[in-house]
Amino acid sequence: MTENYDLVVIGGGPAGYAAALYGSAAGLKVALVEENKIGGTCLHVGCIPAKELLETASVLRAVRQAQDFGIETIKEPAIDLSISQNRKQTVIDQLFTGLNSLLVGREVTIYSGKGFLGPERKIEIKKDNETETIQGKNVLLATGSTPRTIEGFEIDGKIVVTSDEFLSLDQIPDRVAVIGGGAIGCEFASLLNDLGSSVTLLESLDEILAGCDKDVSTSLRRSFSKKGIDIQTGVKVEGHESDGQKTTLSWSKDGDVNQLEVDLVVVSVGRQPNGNSAGLQNTQIGIDEKGYIEVDERLKTKEQGVWAAGDVINTPQLAHVGFAEGIFAVKEILGECPVPIDPETVPWCIYCDPEVAFAGLTEEKAKAAGYEVSVSKHRYSGNGRAMIIGETEGLVKVIAENKGDGKAGRILGVHMVGPWVTEQLGQAYLAVNLEATVDEVANHIQAHPTLSELFGETVMSLTGRSLHG
Ligand SMILES: Cc1cc2nc3c(=O)[nH]c(=O)nc-3n(C[C@H](O)[C@H](O)[C@H](O)COP(=O)(O)OP(=O)(O)OC[C@H]3O[C@@H](n4cnc5c(N)ncnc54)[C@H](O)[C@@H]3O)c2cc1C
């Protein structure tokens, strides 16, 4: 007999497991189909392992700085990558166990196998030559994404890797080329630089973190260059020739061809949506030319009762956006009419050194959208806590829409680069999404001495009065 569910979720990454947990909390009978490991990219080869290794880099930086605080470290700090990798795996394993227990505790039925969706929301689950069929009143496709590759750089897992292999590296390479200066490329370049590799970051666009506010990307570029990362923008990588131990990579800029000998090439050029991973044969579901499942702003596909969420749809490829979309789909199913998620105002956090965090419109985007804006920028170099921790690079930038009287009103965007900004973004995110004005935010107290004071100070400047400039 075919088992029936209120909701069948295909894909157990952040978008899928969030929908499963939220749906069961709302009283739905839920099934979750996963072909690999519950937790998806984020838990196994994404956010968690990347941030865990970046924390190793952060500890190493702190130990290197120890003498500035009068702490004798006796000898140069050295890293044992196997211990760091074990620690990373322990964190993943703990979260994995916790997540499985949560799903079981919520009575979500987990099907292990590859799910294929056909007409009338029938799902065939295939594993080891066996097929099981279940049926959903509603179905959520959350099949995620996999690393993109580029021609001429076949992944061998040894000299040419994507994030999947990179995160399990067992030794620190001497010389590395990171192809792609987006969020993941910048995190990897920063990590490798801290661990002692000589790093060249190759980006085809004119700037690293191209979608960020210009002041932020310029500031990050300056910090990276100061750390010794060689950044080459506006370049085209042509190919590479490997001798099995190392490789010579060719890249061109303005017609000049350059060669670079490295021990490792990390390809981080974005992620390919798994649009057709669940088959979707004889359904009305559309997949666009980039491989994304087509949805409307309510995350509905063209097939009745079928939604899609997470990296597999064309919205910011972030775990927390996946969580939000999974929850949104469940609320839709429950008929609660949730407010659509605005991709322009979601929070972004990038965990390189210095960190980057932002929410809302950049100055360029705000102006292009026709807003008259006021802008304020404050640097961490004047912030007491930043001086105390010895990390004074970076800035906070706030963009506000001008009111009729020309004074700053609603906060449209907040952009940060500097120490622990990923942990400071919360109040900025709320300000943007609650459509708060600069006066409303400036009325609130920032604790002293904190790094977050810089956000308060930057907003206060936009009221026309300020304390420290
Ligand atoms: C190195 C790296 C660092 C990152 N860092 C961050 C970060 O700091 N913060 C952040 O927000 N995001 C980060 N991300 C992005 C984040 O990992 C993704 O946005 C997130 O995992 C997407 O969730 P998802 O559920 O849509 O897809 P996925 O996590 O890709 O999960 C999809 C799941 O579906 C399964 N699946 C696919 N097809 C089928 C099928 N037919 N049947 C059954 N199962 C199927 C897959 O096995 C997989 O488990 C990072 C990504 C990488 C690669």
| 114 touches ligand 1 (CB under 6 Å) | yes
Question: How large is the average pLDDT for residues 143-160?
Answer: 96
pLDDT at 375: 98
- Domain range 3-147+272-343, its CATH number among 3.50.50.60, 3.30.470.10, 3.40.50.300, 3.40.50.10490: 3.50.50.60
Q: What atom of ligand 1 comes closest to residue 38's alpha carbon?
A: 49
Distance 41 CA to ligand 1 centre (A): 3
- Torsion, Cα 5 37 300 149, to 10 degrees, reads -160
Average pLDDT on 67-90 reads 94
The fold of 160-269 is FAD/NAD(P)-binding domain (3.50.50)
Q: Is the CB of 273 under 6 A from ligand 1?
A: no
- What are the tens digits of pLDDT across the range 343-379? 999 999 999 999 999 999 999 999 999 999 999 999 9
Average pLDDT over residues 396-415: 97
We find that the CATH architecture of domain 354-461 is 2-Layer Sandwich (3.30)
Q: Which atom of ligand 1 is nearest to the CA of 321?
A: 11
Enumerate the CATH 3.50.50.60 domain ranges in the chain, comma separated: 3-147+272-343, 160-269
Ligand 1 centroid to residue 144 C-alpha, Å:
5
- How many CA atoms does the CB half-sphere of 350 hold within 13 Å? 30
Rounded mean pLDDT, 108-135: 97
Residues carrying CATH 3.30.390.30, the chain = 354-461
Question: What pTM value is reported for the model?
Answer: 0.97
For ligand 1, say whether the CB of 267 is within 6 Å of any of its atoms: no
Cβ contact 461:376 at 8 Å: yes
| Percent of the chain as helix, strand, coil, to the nearest 5 | 35, 30, 40
Task: State which H helix or E strand residue 428 sits in.
Answer: helix 421-433
**Mean of pLDDT values over 221-235:** 98
pLDDT at 469: 67
Q: For residue 427, how far is the Cα from the chain centroid? A: 19
- Residue ID of nearest Cα to ligand 1 atom 1: 46
Q: What is the mean pLDDT of the chain?
A: 97
Q: Which residues are catalytic?
A: 448
Distance CA 299, CA 120 (A): 18
Q: What is the pLDDT of residue 347?
A: 98
For the CA of 11, the closest atom of ligand 1 is: 34
What is the distance in A from the centroid of ligand 1 to the CA of 376? Answer: 36
